[in-house]
Amino acid sequence: MVALRTEIADVNAVAAESDRLYALLQEAVDSSLQKVGYLPGPAPKNGHAQNPTNGRPERWMCSDKQRELILKITNEHHLDKNAVETLAQERFDKSVIMLNKLEASGLIEELLEQTGQNRNNGRRFNGTIPARGA
């Protein structure tokens, strides 16, 4: 939630000031919507990645194990982080770090397929990537 206050000296200026503030807020929203998300490098052990645009930590919405696996697959297979981000945007209409557990599971499954991995012959995935040819 955002709250905004302003003082107006002339009561006749309320409409103009309201229009000005609305335009300012709309511009900020539009600017935020134009920024594409990102997939950071390996996250620190506290589970927070640094946002390169503002330096503040950001928390992934999926589980820590899912975050670690997405980063592991991306790094070990030298996947383009922008391509992984684009995949998340196309499939789920959100940034990788904003994926919930179910969406992250779908992304992981697709990354495993793209890298030639399978999900242990239909058994529940245990968080480790089997070696090629295994």
Closest listed residue to residue 115, CA positions, set 58, 87, 73: 73
Tokens representing residue 59 in the block: 């928390």
Indicate the helix (H) or strand (E) that contains 50: strand 48-50
Residue 38 identity (one-letter amino acid):
Y
List C-alpha distances in Å: 97 to 2, 6, 30, 74, 106: 23, 35, 20, 14, 14
> What pLDDT, on a 0 to 100 scale, did the predictor assign at position 47?
46
What's the rounded Cα separation, in Å, for the pair 17 and 29?
18
Tens digit of pLDDT for each residue in 3-53?
778 888 898 988 889 888 888 888 877 776 665 555 555 544 444 455 555
pTM (2 d.p.): 0.50
